C-alpha cells in the first residue's frame, strides 16, 4: 500500500455541501487561524473561558522554561467537574452521556446523572482503599462502560490513571505497572472480542507475579467466567459498590470533586519510541481539557443533538481524548461498542449506525480497508443516512480507502476529517474542519494556533512537494508535559533534533496549497493497524525466549494493516531452526507483548546486518525484504 502518491496532490478539491457548511460552527477557518496566530494566548483564553475554573489563571502560557511549558498557571479546576458535575445543574442532567452495546448485543446507557452517580460511588471506593491525589492507578480492561467510569473516578479524586490497552499482555503490563509504581489495578474477569474471550484477569495475575508494588486488584465481572480471587488482594467491583463506603455518611451517592492545579497530572499513557522502554506520556487537567474539547467542537462540529461514535479503544489516546474526555466536556452523547467490526458478520458497524442513529463516525484507515474487502453489499443493506461527518486517524489513509469511505459510507455527502495527531500532542494538530476543501489522503492544514513546518536535517524548511521532517513550532495547551519521571528523555527525544521545535518523528510533504501529507515514521516505531509498536519492544520479547540470541523487527507494507511486523531471529548455539520453533516464537511474542505485536512472519537467519559499533541496520533488512536498493553500506559489518 502506497500511502500518499505524489500525483494525488493535484486531485480536485472536494468541497463541503451546503448543508454541511450551514451546520458548521466555523465558517471562516482562515480568519480564525489569523486571529490565533496574532494572539495565541488570547485565542486559547477565549476557549478556556467555556469551562469552570475554581480559581482563575495568572498566565495563559508560561514559556519561561522551554520545553517545559505550562498552561493556565495559577488556575485550579478538575476536568471531571467539567465533564460531569457542571452538567448536572442543567437540562443535560437527563441527557444520555454514554450508550453502550456489548458484542453479544446487550445494551446499557447512562445519563449524565447516572454516569456521575457511578463515578462518585467508585471514587468513594477508591478513596476508601487509600487512593490519594497523585497516586497512580493502572486500568487494564475490555471496552465496557466501567472503563471510562474508572478513568473518571481516578481523575475526580486527583489520582493519575494509567490505562493499558486490553490487547497488551503480560510483560507489557508488568513493565508499565513497575514504571508507574501503581498500587491498584482495575481489570475485568475477561473481555469479549471477535467472539472470543480475552482472559484479562489471568493475564494480570501472571504480570503481578513479576511485580511487587500492587496491593489491590479490583475486578469487574463481564464474562462471568471462573477466575481465582486472591484473598485480601482481589475484590469484585460489584461487591465494593454495595459497601457503605461507596456512599456518603448520609447515604448519598455523592463524592466531592477534588480541586486541582491546572497543571496537576491527569493521566499517564505509555507509548512506544526508539528504545525498548515504553515512555509514559504525561498529560494534565487544565491544558488538556481546553485543547481536547476545543478541537473536538470545531473539527467534528458536535452539537447537542448529535450522537458521536469514535471506534477507538479507550486504552489509546484517541479513546482518552475523543471517547471519554472530549465528548463529556462538550456535554455530548457518545456511543461505545465493545467488540470487533465484523462480528458476527461484516455489517455489525453499519447495523449499529442505523440502530443508534449515529451522526458522526470517527475511525481508522485499517478498519476501513478491512471492511472494504467485504464489499459494498454489507453497508448498502443499512440506512446510514443519519451520518453527517466522518473521520479517520492513526496512519495515512490511502486515497482508494478514502474514496470508498466517502462514497459508500458517506454517500458522497459527508466530509472526512483526516486528523493527524499523537499520544504526545493530546489533541488534533493537523486536521480539516467541515468547511475545509479536502484532498483524499491529506490531513489538510494545522489547527488554528498550531504552527507546523517540514524541514531538512538542519532544520531548514524544504520546498513544497519535498519530503522532510514534520515539526511543530508553537506550544499548544494539550501538549504532553514530560515523560513521567524522565525529563531528560523528554528533552532528548522531542526537542533536540531541531532546536526550539517539537520533533514529531514523522516525515511529511507540504504541497503548493500548504496542505500536509504525512508519509510515515522516521524512527523505530511501526504502525500496525494504526497501533503504535516499537521494534525494540518486540525484539526484547523475542530475545526473552531461551532459544533466541538476537532479533530484529521491521515493518513491511500490508494491504489491510498498513504495516505488518517481520522479525529476523538468530538462534543460540545448539538450537535447531524449525517451523515449530517459529510458531512457538510468534506465540511467545503474543504472550509477552500482546496479540497486536505478534509478528506476521519470523525468519531464522545466520546473522544480522550491523554497523561496526554493533547497531542492527534495520533499514538494510527492510530494503532487502522489498528488493529495494540497500543504500549506503559503508558502515555495514557483516
- Binding residues vs ligand WT7 (CB under 6 A): 271, 317-318, 393-396, 418-423, 443, 504-506, 518, 521, 527, 532
Find all residues with CB under 8 Å of 570, minimum gap 6, and list them.
Answer: 548, 549, 550, 551, 604, 605, 606, 607, 608
> At its nearest, how many Å lie between ligand WT7 and the CB of residue 440?
12
> At its nearest, how many Å lie between ligand WT7 and the CB of residue 361?
15
Q: Which is nearer to ligand WT7, 5 or 134 (CB)?
A: 5
Per-residue cell: 395: 496512519
Helix H or strand E encompassing 13: none
| CA 410 to the chain's CA centroid | 24
**Strand ranges in 348-408 using DSSP code E only, listed in sequence order:** 360-363, 389-392
The CA-atom distances, in angstroms, between 126 and each of 156, 211, 232, 235, 258 are 10, 21, 15, 12, 13
Q: Are 585 and 598 in contact (CB under 8 A)?
A: no
> At its nearest, how many Å lie between ligand WT7 and the CB of residue 447?
13
Count the alpha carbons within 13 Å of 497 in the hemisphere toward its beta carbon. 21
Per-residue cell: 24: 458548521
Neighbours of 215 (CB within 10 A): 13
> At its nearest, how many Å lie between ligand WT7 and the CB of residue 507?
9
> At its nearest, how many Å lie between ligand WT7 and the CB of residue 315?
11
Q: Which is nearer to ligand WT7, 372 or 528 (CB)?
A: 528
- Residue among 475, 491, 500 nearest 59 (CA): 475
Q: Which is nearer to ligand WT7, 347 or 425 (CB)?
A: 425
Bond into 169 cis (ω within 30): no
Neighbours of 31 (CB within 10 A): 11
Q: Which is nearer to ligand WT7, 222 or 497 (CB)?
A: 497
Q: Are 609 and 568 in contact (CB under 8 A)?
A: no
Helix H or strand E encompassing 618: helix 618-626
Q: Are 3 and 521 in contact (CB under 8 A)?
A: no
> At its nearest, how many Å lie between ligand WT7 and the CB of residue 355?
27
- Residue among 116, 403, 70 nearest 255 (CA): 116
Per-residue cell: 77: 479546576
Q: What angle do CA 334, 339, 343 make, to 5 degrees?
A: 125
| CA 255 to the chain's CA centroid | 29
Q: Which is nearer to ligand WT7, 124 or 318 (CB)?
A: 318
Q: Are 565 and 529 in contact (CB under 8 A)?
A: no
Q: Which is nearer to ligand WT7, 339 or 443 (CB)?
A: 443
> At its nearest, how many Å lie between ligand WT7 and the CB of residue 571?
32
**CA distance linking residue 228 with residue 217, whole number of Å:** 12
> At its nearest, how many Å lie between ligand WT7 and the CB of residue 4?
9
**CA distance linking residue 26 with residue 97, whole number of Å:** 25
> At its nearest, how many Å lie between ligand WT7 and the CB of residue 453?
15
Q: Which is nearer to ligand WT7, 4 or 76 (CB)?
A: 4
Q: Which is nearer to ligand WT7, 111 or 321 (CB)?
A: 321
> At its nearest, how many Å lie between ligand WT7 and the CB of residue 283?
12
Q: Which is nearer to ligand WT7, 420 or 568 (CB)?
A: 420
> At its nearest, how many Å lie between ligand WT7 and the CB of residue 506?
5
Q: Which is nearer to ligand WT7, 182 or 271 (CB)?
A: 271
- Residue among 115, 104, 173, 181 nearest 147 (CA): 115
- Report the greatest alpha carbon distance in the chain: 76
> At its nearest, how many Å lie between ligand WT7 and the CB of residue 432?
10
Q: Which is nearer to ligand WT7, 61 or 417 (CB)?
A: 417
Q: Which is nearer to ligand WT7, 16 or 426 (CB)?
A: 426
Q: Which is nearer to ligand WT7, 85 or 418 (CB)?
A: 418
> At its nearest, how many Å lie between ligand WT7 and the CB of residue 219?
28
The CA-atom distances, in angstroms, between 103 and each of 109, 194, 240, 318, 349 are 15, 8, 26, 21, 11
> At its nearest, how many Å lie between ligand WT7 and the CB of residue 356?
24
Q: Which is nearer to ligand WT7, 134 or 557 (CB)?
A: 557
**CA distance linking residue 491 with residue 484, whole number of Å:** 12
- Residue among 296, 319, 308, 310 nearest 161 (CA): 319
Q: What angle do CA 258, 336, 439 make, to 5 degrees?
A: 105
**CA distance linking residue 252 with residue 9, whole number of Å:** 60
**CA distance linking residue 276 with residue 597, whole number of Å:** 14
**CA distance linking residue 10 with residue 117, whole number of Å:** 53
Helices (H), ranges, 211-284:
237-240
Amino acid at each position: 500500500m502506497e500511502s500518499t502518491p505524489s500525483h494525488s496532490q493535484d486531485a480536485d478539491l472536494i468541497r463541503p455541501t451546503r448543508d454541511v457548511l450551514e451546520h458548521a460552527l466555523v465558517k471562516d477557518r482562515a480568519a480564525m487561524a489569523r486571529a490565533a496566530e496574532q494572539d495565541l494566548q488570547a485565542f486559547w483564553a477565549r476557549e478556556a473561558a467555556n469551562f469552570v475554573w475554581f480559581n482563575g489563571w495568572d498566565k495563559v502560557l508560561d514559556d519561561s522554561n522551554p520545553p517545559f511549558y505550562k498552561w493556565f498557571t495559577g488556575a485550579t479546576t478538575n476536568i471531571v467537574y467539567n465533564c460531569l458535575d457542571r452538567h448536572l445543574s442543567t437540562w443535560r442532567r437527563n441527557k444520555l452521556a454514554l450508550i453502550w452495546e456489548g458484542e453479544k448485543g446487550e445494551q446499557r446507557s447512562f445519563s449524565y446523572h447516572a454516569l456521575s452517580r457511578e463515578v462518585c460511588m467508585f471514587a468513594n471506593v477508591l478513596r476508601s482503599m487509600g487512593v490519594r491525589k497523585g497516586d497512580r492507578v493502572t486500568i487494564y480492561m475490555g471496552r465496557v462502560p466501567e472503563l471510562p467510569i474508572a478513568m473518571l473516578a481516578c481523575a475526580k479524586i486527583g489520582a493519575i490513571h494509567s490505562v493499558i490497552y486490553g490487547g497488551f499482555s503480560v510483560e507489557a503490563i508488568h513493565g508499565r505497572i513497575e514504571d508507574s509504581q501503581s498500587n491498584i489495578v482495575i481489570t475485568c474477569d475477561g473481555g469479549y472480542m471477535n467472539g472470543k474471550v480475552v482472559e484479562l484477569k489471568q493475564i494480570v495475575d501472571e504480570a503481578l507475579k513479576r511485580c511487587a508494588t500492587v496491593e489491590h486488584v479490583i475486578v469487574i465481572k463481564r464474562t462471568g467466567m471462573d477466575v481465582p480471587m486472591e484473598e485480601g488482594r482481589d475484590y469484585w467491583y460489584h461487591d465494593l459498590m454495595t459497601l457503605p463506603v461507596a456512599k456518603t455518611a448520609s447515604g448519598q451517592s455523592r463524592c466531592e470533586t477534588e480541586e486541582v492545579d491546572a497543571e496537576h497530572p491527569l493521566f499517564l499513557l505509555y507509548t512506544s519510541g526508539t528504545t525498548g522502554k515504553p515512555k509514559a506520556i504525561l498529560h494534565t487537567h487544565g491544558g488538556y481539557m481546553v485543547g481536547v474539547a476545543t478541537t473536538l467542537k470545531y473539527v467534528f462540529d458536535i452539537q447537542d443533538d448529535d450522537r458521536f461514535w469514535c471506534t477507538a479503544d479507550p486504552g489509546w489516546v484517541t479513546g482518552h481524548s475523543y471517547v471519554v474526555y472530549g465528548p463529556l466536556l462538550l456535554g455530548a452523547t457518545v456511543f461505545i461498542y465493545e467488540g470487533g467490526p465484523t462480528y458476527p458478520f461484516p455489517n455489525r458497524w453499519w447495523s449499529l449506525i442505523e440502530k443508534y442513529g449515529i451522526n458522526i463516525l470517527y475511525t481508522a484507515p485499517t478498519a476501513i480497508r478491512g471492511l472494504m474487502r467485504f464489499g459494498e453489499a454489507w453497508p448498502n443493506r443499512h440506512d446510514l443516512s443519519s451520518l453527517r461527518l466522518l473521520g479517520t486517524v492513526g496512519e495515512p489513509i490511502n486515497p482508494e480507502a478514502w474514496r470508498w469511505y466517502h462514497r459508500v459510507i458517506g454517500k458522497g455527502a459527508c466530509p472526512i476529517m483526516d486528523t493527524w495527531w499523537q499520544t504526545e500532542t493530546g489533541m488534533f494538530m493537523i486536521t480539516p474542519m467541515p468547511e475545509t476543501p479536502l484532498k483524499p489522503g491529506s490531513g489538510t492544514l494545522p489547527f488554528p494556533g498550531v504552527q507546523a513546518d517540514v524541514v531538512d536535517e538542519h532544520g531548514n524548511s524544504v520546498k513544497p512537494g519535498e519530503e522532510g521532517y514534520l515539526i511543530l513550532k508553537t506550544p499548544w495547551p494539550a501538549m504532553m508535559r514530560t515523560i513521567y519521571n524522565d525529563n531528560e528523555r523528554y528533552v532528548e527525544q522531542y526537542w533536540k533534533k531541531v532546536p526550539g521545535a517539537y520533533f514529531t518523528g514523522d516525515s511529511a510533504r507540504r504541497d503548493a496549497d500548504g496542505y500536509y501529507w504525512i508519509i510515515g515514521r522516521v524512527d523505530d516505531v511501526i504502525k500496525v493497524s494504526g497501533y503504535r509498536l516499537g521494534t525494540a519492544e518486540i525484539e526484547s520479547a523475542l530475545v526473552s525466549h531461551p532459544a533466541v540470541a538476537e532479533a530484529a523487527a521491521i515493518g513491511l507494507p500490508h494491504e489491510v494493516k498498513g504495516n505488518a511486523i517481520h522479525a529476523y531471529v538468530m538462534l543460540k548455539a545448539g538450537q535447531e531452526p524449525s517451523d515449530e520453533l517459529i510458531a512457538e516464537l510468534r506465540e511467545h511474542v503474543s504472550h509477552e507483548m500482546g496479540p497486536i505485536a505478534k509478528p506476521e512472519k519470523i525468519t531464522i537467519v545466520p546473522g544480522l546486518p550491523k554497523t561496526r559499533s554493533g547497531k542492527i541496520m534495520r533499514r538494510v533488512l527492510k530494503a532487502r525484504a522489498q528488493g529495494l536498493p540497500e543504500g549506503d553500506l559503508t558502515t555495514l559489518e557483516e
